[in-house]
Structure 1
Amino acid sequence: MRRLNSQDWTGKKWRPRLATVVVAILIVVMALPLVGLFFFRLYENQLIRQTEAELIAQGAVLAAIYAEDVRAAGIAPDKLGGPVAVDAERSASTNEPYQPLEPRLDLASDTVLPTRPAPVAAIADPAFAAIGAGLAGILAETQKTTLAGFRLLDPRGVVIAGREEIGQSLADVAEVRAALAGRYASALRLRIPNQPAPPLYSVSRGTRVRVFVALPVAVEGRIAGVVYLSRTPNNIVKHLYGERGKVTLAAIAIVGGTLLIGLVFLRTVSRPIYGLIERTKRIAAGDREAMKPLDHHGTREMAELSAAFLDMAQKLQARSDSIQTFATHVSHELKSPLTAIQGAAELLRDSGEAMDEAERKRFSNNIVTDAGRLNLLVRRLLELARVENLAPSGESTSLDAVLALLPADTRLTVRVEAGGGTGLRISAENAAIVLANLIDNSARHGAGLVSISAASAAGRATVVVSDDGAGISPSNRGKVFEPFFTTRRESGGTGMGLGIVLALLKAHDGTIRLVDSERGTRFEINLPAA
């Protein structure tokens, strides 16, 4: 099977670095205000709405003055226009004393009409022309301040006041026609600039349009004329330049906020990830000093990821060390009987007739004994491999049921002191393997009696196995659970019995430890209670 390396996992496809992705995202975030300004025209549209609102306010004042002059002039009703149309939106509540006109133009959705059509020749009614002449001065002075274009029209759409086009008709203009019918109207039209705009202004669509507003003037419920106003909206570049102080502060805030976000992301996400990658490479290269927590984790998730990774690395390292040690022990344990078998076989082969029958039988017995030891060692290895990969079955048993499965051992007596009915969360067969190994060890060390007692509390069961044998010397107490450690190698001991017991109990969430005893040996087993 081919071994996979890091190149196999990552592939040769180009992928951006995390820092590159973060920088790209931050650039997009900084660009969003500019996108709103120049692509969606949000700010330009606001300037157009503002211009329309200003024209409505100025037109309303002029309309009120003009209506008062019409009433004062005593113009006959038959010279007025048609009735004022009812605006459904403004008359929704008849109890409201105020009915304001709201700006309606939208640069994003409204069609920009062609330049305003030229007026046509007409004759104004003398009575209305006299009123217009009286208001001409007010219009001229107002225009100097507001920069708006004013046209005051009579009920037939003829200009009676304004700097130009007096005596000509604008009745065919769409917004004027709507106002003469009694409805407020506004429109966006292409402007005719007196001089070309500066090159920088070309980025603004709003510089190429002009806002037109037509307000009907009502007297006694009939149309007395139209106030027709127009003005070019403020240019966005010019407006932003006028607000350059605030714009600069806003830009500094946006850039500063973006840099702060980038710094926080770098410290809390990017740096720990790169640190973990560097640690991974060092651990893969065999550097055990790299198996320690990062200096800075940044976030809780990164700390948990780092802890889980280091825990996995430590377990893999411990597993590797265990395998290496185990392989060393196995090779040593197998080498000794194999060497003895090989030596005896060579002597039998080379001696020929020179070796007497007694020596031949002795060497043959040595070969059989060492072969049996190898066979026992292999079986023990298979048992250890099986229990290390054993999954708990969920079965339960009692101490009495386990003892019933144990074969009779003529070398010693097994006695239950207490707790024979204690339940254990382990199968009877596996529990019997544990006790059988412990009893066999006691018998090999000269014990004549093995006492077993059990008790349970707080969901755990404790089984104590003690004997009256020779015990374990203080120098060997820390080695009893090491694989292949035995003091009875000459009598066939493999040193794997307690290793099998430890692995079997660990697979069932259990533990075993050697405890102090006045005589013999005492082991304490802890398992989940049934």
Structure 2
Amino acid sequence: MPRGKWRPSLGLVVLGVLGIVAALPLFGLFLIRVYENGPIREAEAELIAQSAALAAVMARTIEALPDHEGLLGTVAPPPAEALDNRYRPIQPSLDLAVADILDRRPDATEPATPPDPALLAVGAGLLPVLERTQAVTLAGFRITDRDGTVIAGRNEIGRSLAGLPEVAAALEGRFTSVLRRRVSDEPPPALTSISRGTRVRLFAAMPILVGERVAGVVYASRTPSNVVRHLYGERVKLALAAAAVLAAVIAIAAIFSRAITRPILALVARSQDIARGNRAVLAKPGPFGTREIALLSFGVDRMAHQLHERSDYIATFAAHVSHELKTPLTAIQGAAELLRDAQRNPADAMTASQQIRFLDNILSDTGRLTALLVRLRELARADNPDIRGSAPLETVLAALQQAFPRLVVEVDAALDHTLAISAENAEIVFTHLADNAVRHGARKLLIAVQTGEGAVSIRLSDDGNGIPEDNRARVFDAFFTTRRESGGTGMGLGIVRAMLRAHGGTIALLPAGGEGAAFEITLPTTRPM
């Protein structure tokens, strides 16, 4: 491979893609944090249920106190969601992706007014219930009066939580839940340190409503379930899922290797063998893999075959050209040397008739070289023609009749066909065939046309001397001619075949059926005129 910019191998690209695919579940768990929202919402729903139960108990207890009206605060606003007068559901709403995480909860402060002794007595009676609830649910509870002063809880009794925004909102009659940073007195275990769930604590403030007025707040808190702990509990399922993902990655890698990487490497090795000239490799089938690689392999083989054929053709053609040029050049050189020696040495003087004979030979060989160069130019043009354009068959045959007035051209078919070849290129094809017929003694050329699906077959037969059986297999060979002494170059039929092949056509020598020679040309057609 040529040096330059670094390029990854196909295997490395496939491995990178598979690695990304395998890592997608991890991104979903730890970066997108979708999974962590589950424990958050679950903890919030549990706090809502527990706080609602405690708020109902507190409301019933406060309502039973004498002169309880003096213990009530502001009127709560109507709930945002109410099915009827009985049901006022509160749905979990916290989301790690969008929720702000507040600083750790500040300590309670001194209250502006001390709590009512009756409420302190109620709180003291409720304390055993809160402790038993906390032992089971792991949630912490604080019960406050209408001013936000704690009346029940394990500590902070008689101190105020009214400065907390969630408690202040609950004192106005609105349930509020927030996430705060969790600061533990003990260092977390190593496994749990990667879980954001252990670094936050959920706080929920539920208003205690007596009628439509706020009598206090149930302030609950809990640390959400640890994601890593939950995953550890599902370790068997996760191991099976990881094994399934790994198996899928290995299977995909094997499929890529079998269907893409190995066939491409084999194709590279095959192309290198072809470049080194090893033609034996073309006899073996190429690598397949996918359909596209198989098509690429077939294309490389076809191109290699064509290049080898072209190389052989050029080598053979060069040998023929050098041979054809050598003979007249040698004759010209010999005649010129004799004429020069006769001028230099009076003893070797030539008569006028001898000089004219040598000069005629030079002119004849020069003419042969000129004709050969013209044919070479025509062959080069036939090998790489301009294949655009089309020509009506009637126009082509009319031009042929005009070019050979002494040749009787008879057409045995309708001429309303358009050949997929330009008039200029068609003239080259038919002119060479007619010239061959004339040079072999033909006086009449019969043309028969037969149409097929998308093609037209044209048969040209003459009444000339015909082609001997020994020469029939060589008529299309370059430089093969039986008229070399009369100026034949042996390139006419080669030019015809090259021109037709470039236009998707063919030419064939038909079996001898009497006098003369017969050729069949097949050319694609355009729509009828």
2:146·2:217 contact (CA, 8 Å) conserved in 1? yes
What residue number does 1:116 align with?
Answer: 105
Instruction: Specify the SS of the correspondent of 1:139.
Output: helix
Structure 1 position 214, deviation (Å): 0.8
What residue number does 2:93 align with?
Answer: 104
Kindly indicate whether residue 116 of structure 2 is the aligned counterpart of residue 125 of structure 1: yes
Indicate which of 502, 507, 523 corresponds to 1:527: 523
Q: Please give the residue correspondences for 1:18-33 in structure 2 after superposition, counting only pairs within 5 Å.
A: 18-33=10-25
Give, in whole Å, the separation in 2 of the partners of 1:292 and 1:69: 99
What residue number does 2:315 align with?
Answer: 324
Moved more, 425-434 or 209-218: 425-434
Count of paired positions: 518
Indicate which of 429, 436, 443 corresponds to 1:434: 429
Instruction: Specify the SS of the correspondent of 1:120.
Output: coil
Give, in whole Å, the separation in 2 of the partners of 1:43 and 1:303: 46
Which residue identity does 1:297 align to in structure 2?
F
Which residue identity does 1:137 align to in structure 2?
P
Indicate which of 282, 287, 290 corresponds to 2:273: 282
Structure 1 position 218, deviation (Å): 1.6
What residue number does 2:324 align with?
Answer: 333
**Alpha-carbon distance change, 18 to 349 in structure 1, aligned in 2, over 3 angstroms:** same
2:286·2:297 contact (CA, 8 Å) conserved in 1? no
CA distances 1:197-244 after superposition (whole Å, capped 9, x unpaired): 123333233322211111112221111221111112222332222222
CA distances 1:63-119 after superposition (whole Å, capped 9, x unpaired): 22323333444653342121122343x24xx45964432222233433332322222
Kindly indicate whether residue 495 of structure 2 is the aligned counterpart of residue 506 of structure 1: no
**Alpha-carbon distance change, 131 to 473 in structure 1, aligned in 2, over 3 angstroms:** farther
Indicate which of 56, 77, 84 corresponds to 1:85: 77
What residue number does 1:516 align with?
Answer: 511
The normalised TM-score by structure 1 is 0.89
Kindly indicate whether residue 60 of structure 2 is the aligned counterpart of residue 56 of structure 1: no
Instruction: Specify the SS of the correspondent of 2:442.
Output: coil
1:293·1:306 contact (CA, 8 Å) conserved in 2? no
Give, in whole Å, the separation in 2 of the partners of 1:32 and 1:16: 23
Quote the sequence identity (%).
50
Structure 1 position 52, deviation (Å): 1.7
Q: Please give the residue correspondences for 1:127-206 in structure 2 after superposition, counting only pairs within 5 Å.
A: 127-206=118-197
Indicate which of 252, 261, 279 corresponds to 1:261: 252
Give, in whole Å, the separation in 1 of the partners of 2:86 and 2:255: 55
Structure 1 position 466, deviation (Å): 0.8
Structure 1 position 294, deviation (Å): 6.2
Give, in whole Å, the separation in 1 of the partners of 2:32 and 2:450: 79
Structure 1 position 332, deviation (Å): 1.3
What residue number does 1:3 align with?
Answer: none
CA distances 1:350-383 after superposition (whole Å, capped 9, x unpaired): 4544365355444333322222211110111111
**Alpha-carbon distance change, 75 to 310 in structure 1, aligned in 2, over 3 angstroms:** farther
Give, in whole Å, the separation in 2 of the partners of 1:290 and 1:30: 40
Structure 1 position 400, deviation (Å): 6.1
The normalised TM-score by structure 2 is 0.89
Give, in whole Å, the separation in 1 of the partners of 2:177 and 2:399: 103
Give, in whole Å, the separation in 2 of the partners of 1:220 and 1:173: 25
2:208·2:214 contact (CA, 8 Å) conserved in 1? yes
2:477·2:494 contact (CA, 8 Å) conserved in 1? yes
Give, in whole Å, the separation in 1 of the partners of 2:174 and 2:403: 114
Indicate which of 337, 340, 355 corresponds to 1:346: 337
1:406·1:432 contact (CA, 8 Å) conserved in 2? no
Kindly indicate whether residue 26 of structure 2 is the aligned counterpart of residue 34 of structure 1: yes
Q: Please give the residue correspondences for 1:414-493 in structure 2 after superposition, counting only pairs within 5 Å.
A: 414-419=408-413, 421-425=415-419, 426-493=421-488
Which residue identity does 1:111 align to in structure 2?
D
Give, in whole Å, the separation in 2 of the partners of 1:24 and 1:366: 78
Structure 1 position 255, deviation (Å): 2.3
Moved more, 294-303 or 268-277: 294-303
Kindly indicate whether residue 286 of structure 2 is the aligned counterpart of residue 299 of structure 1: no
**Alpha-carbon distance change, 406 to 380 in structure 1, aligned in 2, over 3 angstroms:** farther
Instruction: Specify the SS of the correspondent of 2:509.
Output: strand
Instruction: Specify the SS of the correspondent of 2:101.
Output: coil
Structure 1 position 166, deviation (Å): 2.8
Instruction: Specify the SS of the correspondent of 1:266.
Output: helix
1:292·1:310 contact (CA, 8 Å) conserved in 2? no
Give, in whole Å, the separation in 1 of the partners of 2:36 and 2:404: 100
2:140·2:221 contact (CA, 8 Å) conserved in 1? yes
Residue segments in structure 1 that go unaligned for 5+ positions in a row: 1-5
Structure 1 position 247, deviation (Å): 2.1
Moved more, 483-492 or 262-271: 262-271
**Alpha-carbon distance change, 306 to 522 in structure 1, aligned in 2, over 3 angstroms:** same
Structure 1 position 21, deviation (Å): 2.5
Moved more, 182-191 or 131-140: 131-140
Instruction: Specify the SS of the correspondent of 1:86.
Output: coil
